Homo-oligomer: A and B are copies of this chain.
């Protein structure tokens, strides 16, 4: 009888874990592996947060007078426990490999963890943590020739303001003043900005390492802020005047009708690309111009490249939609001009059927490939809609870029 109760209790606990993706009882499970190491993205000299070999995050904060402190990661809040000196400590359930945003709650206040470095995502500068990944070597800082990540201010006539971009120039750019380079315009996701690909994406280190290994052609990467605020008053258009070009066309799926590429499209095409081509040693033609992005940035890539099939010859969408046979029918020049089409997702994103933004990405991509386009479909193993999927996507995409 006692055995049955125990078995039932274990089953109940397992059920809760499988539902919540973790536990939130403020108790230390007896199974925790005690091999915690400081996170690689801690502030200088900070011991916490730490990560163990299971991918659990342990954090610690002094809050002598608090009565409830929680670690909030992966959409689950884990209770921390206070010791006699007023220091709170606690752990999360195992997290996927790679980078995750998180925060702390102190008596109802959502605050960054003072131990971590800060990153822009989820529409705020806040804490991030790095779960060591088996393949982390491809974005590690190594003693190889390094490119530069340049913070650049330029005037955008479309937005009537000075805007910021980050521009990666590959190793050797400063040395040989006669060489010109192809360019990739690379976009972040919703709630992120132009700092994301450099800070948490490690785009510069990924490129430095690929170039050192001879696996990628050196190219320039331009990163701007695609979350353009619609500050100017907008006149709603009467139904009959609705524009129907691909950029503003209502896409299928949950974000249908939201014109999230229009304003950024103007900045990109009318201001940023001309600025880059006038100020850097780039090859300023379609065959040497690529666009890619993650999540919202992938959707922007889809809309902008379909609407401008004479501008980009290489297109990448990371967790951000796909190109369907309908798209090719509607935009024959896209099929004619695009020499590389790359679609990727994290494996966990594909665990449930995906529609939206042009339909099922795998089926779409297979059909487009069968129709004769140079198309690649990449799935990042054991990752979700997060940066590890996108770092890996860039690594795969970069090895294919400008080789056709």
Binding site for B on A (CB under 8 A): 43-45, 61-69, 86, 104, 106-112, 114, 117-118, 123-126, 141-143, 146, 148-155, 162, 167, 174-175, 177, 193, 198, 204, 208, 279-280
Q: How far is the CB of A79 from chain B (nearest CB, A)?
A: 13
Residues of B within 8 Å of A155, CB to CB, are: 143
**Beta-carbon nearest neighbor of A167 in chain B:** B148
Complex Cα spacing A65 to B107, Å: 5
Partner of A114, one of B108, B124, B151, B167: B124
**Beta-carbon nearest neighbor of A154 in chain B:** B146
Residues of B within 8 Å of A117, CB to CB, are: 125
Q: Are A123 and B162 in contact (CB under 8 A)?
A: no
Residues of B within 8 Å of A175, CB to CB, are: 279
Q: Are A146 and B150 in contact (CB under 8 A)?
A: no
Q: Are B174 and A108 in contact (CB under 8 A)?
A: no
- Other A-B pairs, 20, CB within 8 Å; known A65-B67, A107-B107, A148-B167: A45-B123, A64-B108, A65-B107, A66-B106, A66-B107, A66-B108, A106-B106, A106-B111, A110-B114, A112-B118, A117-B125, A142-B162, A143-B155, A143-B162, A146-B153, A149-B150, A150-B150, A150-B151, A151-B151, A177-B177
Q: How far is the CB of A39 from chain B (nearest CB, A)?
A: 14
Residues of B within 8 Å of A86, CB to CB, are: 108
Q: How far is the CB of A210 from chain B (nearest CB, A)?
A: 15
Q: How far is the CB of A288 from chain B (nearest CB, A)?
A: 18
Q: How far is the CB of A201 from chain B (nearest CB, A)?
A: 14
**Beta-carbon nearest neighbor of A149 in chain B:** B151
Partner of A126, one of B114, B152, B174: B114
CB contact under 8 A between A63 and B143, given known A114-B124, A118-B125, A149-B151: no
Complex Cα spacing A112 to B127, Å: 11
**Beta-carbon nearest neighbor of A147 in chain B:** B153
Query: Lowest 8 CB-CB distances: which A-B pairs, in order?
Result: A63-B109, A64-B108, A146-B153, A66-B107, A65-B108, A111-B111, A65-B107, A149-B151
Complex Cα spacing A107 to B142, Å: 42
